[in-house]
Amino acid sequence: MRPIPRPPARRTLTLLLLALAVAPAAARPAYPPSRVEVVSDTLHGVVVDDPYRWLEDQAAPETRAWIDAQNSFRESLMADVPGLPAMTARFAQLLKVDAMGTPFERGGRYFFTRRRADQDLNVLCMRRGLKGQDEVLFDPHPLSPDHSTSALFMDVSIDGRLAAIGQRDGGADEVRVIFRDLDTGQDLPDRMPLLRYYGFVIAPDRGGAWYSRYTPEGPRVYFHKLGTDPAQDPLVFGEGYDPQKFVDVSLSEEGRWLLFTVYVGSAGERSELWVKDLVAGGPVVPVVKDLDGFFTGAVAGDQLFVRTTWKAPRGRILRVDLRDPAPERWQEVVPEGLGVIEDFALAGGRLCVNVLESVTSRVRVYGADGKPRGEIAFPTPGTVGSLSGRWASSEAFFTFESFVTPRAIYRYDVAAGKRAEFWRPSVPFASGDYETRQVWYPSKDGTRVPMFIVQKKGLALDGARPVYLTGYGGFTVNLTPSYNARAALWVENGGVFAQPNLRGGSELGEEWHRAGMLGHKQNVFDDFIAAAQWLVANRYTNPGLIAIEGGSNGGLLVGAALTERPGMCRAVLCRYPLLDMLRYDKFLLGKLWVPEYGTAEDSAQFQYLRAWSPYQNVKQGTAYPAVLFVTGDADTRVAPLHARKMTALLQAATSSDRPVLLYYDTKAGHSSGSAVSKTVVENAIQMQFLFWQLGLPPPGSGTGAVRKAAATPPNPIDSPVGPVKH
């Protein structure tokens, strides 16, 4: 990578760029002041100005005061907006329900999470046998008065007698780890420090644990012997790996093989597999290295079954004998087909393979020799998740859900070839009143893109339906049919929920992913914009009734959409976003994402990043849609500075009277684990903003979220795509 030619030159503008606010004062909200101090970087001969670099310093008193002012401004502006009590009450009904995590078995004991409807957090539980009584192993509620500290299983020993339990504060990625003796219920003295762990495996003899952790130099795997100081843990694997890699570690079910999976960047294009024979001893040895493809595996006895995109962009499964793992001896078990192999699990001596066909899940069962042994059927198109089992056991567990069906847990008897419902939540949502359709629409370059549309049955298409349009488009993340409370509230109030499968994901295979990464990233934004154009052209809606939403990489998506096509929608919900793409890789996990996005340190990649980076493409005097940026201090994955800087810049630049607001939580973050009561409030505030900006009546008003289409839609979308038959 080429270095930046010179260090940044700092200069303060005398007038603080107050001239950016060109619209009449009465037409725009009176935003809190944001000091302007332009820092100029020269990148590959191009001068790039950054007027809000000072907001990158999260701990600075001036930044903290600015955050407080922005939160107070949002609260005051929305104080009289109707709908919040109704929103809060409905989300409480949808979210405060009994919940259960998919169980896994160790030594005849079943482990899972449970949360009663009146509880805020998941509680770690155990059953002695499948039909045993639920026993509470760890309840995180007493750990914090505001229930901001959650708990999760890091691992459970093979015999089910020792658990490693992680404790997470807010939504941070980092956790602390304790060890609990499950026979006595007592905690061991060992305490693992607050770190970002990528993998955690208890040794077969319960004498210690291997763990992979993030370091500024790159991922490293250590072994902690119980009863010793973690600061003295010896390095086991990973020396020399740089920050663009991360390592997961897992253990075969009988405890012989330790498997290391090295992800080369987070783009999902390449990975390596290494193993260590714990019985024979000896070094860690490579199984897969320096091959152009993604590999992930699971061990059965001395056989390693590997899912890979190597020479198969839609995926195939290979079998490797770990006693002689030379590539020329690998055997193909499940060949590449028309569908995309998304995941697989070993159970009962067979392979349960989760295949995406037309972006919906089908699970096919194969013998170890690759012969088909049946299929797990589902009543409606949807998504299978958490597929898990054990080679020596005849049962597997998985979840199934759709846009209108909440996630339920199923148990599959491999020998009998039968599935049975294990647990289902009771959610007050009339699933039978709604329908899901899949359409294919043309993107800017003519590529056909699939999109799911959810709406009330019999809904008239009159161009006046409010649309909630969301997407992701990156890192091989697949957006398959899944239930969520936001969509439920939206459609039950007469709206349309739309989810396109943009390039950058792998819904249609690795080629679909590569068509939306690095220099092809603009395709992702074009796909998203074309989805909105199609919905308008086919009389679902008009631009004045479109709200777009995205989080993380999806936050980048909607950030690019609002800067490239500010007239495509009325409101934007931009959550935990990446927005300054010329500097993103300087913070937190940014370097890990360079294989997906590129870096401004490279002259060629700088050119395309600069062309679509949202922060660098805000234009003075443009009438931008209403925007609510959402982030928080505990986001230790995507630096909150992106939302802070973009809020200040967009508030100064927009000529519109539509508000640009920031919802900044000092304890919120990227990872899961938030208290349900907090999630209810967050959802209510964010949806209140969208209903307000689209001019929709509050939920429960009885009128339905419908407005008449304007004679001339505000800010019409550029170059609409013509109607396409379904």
Q: Which residues are catalytic?
A: 552, 670
Nearest to 220 by CA among 202, 192, 191, 197: 197
Token digits of residue 697: 């009546």
CA distance 55 to 663: 16
d(CA 200, CA 211): 4
CA distances for 303 relative to 113, 210, 371, 633, 664, angstroms: 31, 22, 17, 45, 49
Half-sphere exposure of 306 (CA within 13 A, CB side): 29
b/e per residue, 359-381, with b = 16+ CB within 10 A? bbbbbbbbebeeeebeebebeeb
Nearest to 102 by CA among 93, 94, 113, 116: 113
Amino acid at 208: G
Dist CA 714 CA 657 (whole Å):
13
Token pair recorded at residue 228:
């010793």
DSSP reduced 3-state for 625: coil
Please state, in angstroms and rounded to a whole number, the distance separating the CA atoms of residues 257 and 322.
9
Element of type H or E holding 574: strand 571-575
DSSP code per residue over 107-141:
TTEEEEEEE-TT-SS-EEEEEESTTSPPEEEE--G
For residue 201, the SS3 value is strand
Nearest to 354 by CA among 343, 365, 340, 367: 343
Take residue 170 and report the two structure tokens written for it: 């807010």
Alpha-carbon gap, residue 422 to 548, rounded angstroms = 36
CA distances from 23 to 30, 347, 454, 556, 716 (A): 12, 64, 39, 27, 21
Q: Identify the CA nearest to 164 among candidates 283, 239, 249.
A: 249
User: What stretch of H or E contains 526?
Assistant: helix 522-537
CA distance 375 to 203: 35
Residue 219 contacts residue 198 (beta carbons within 8 Å):
yes
d(CA 713, CA 710): 5
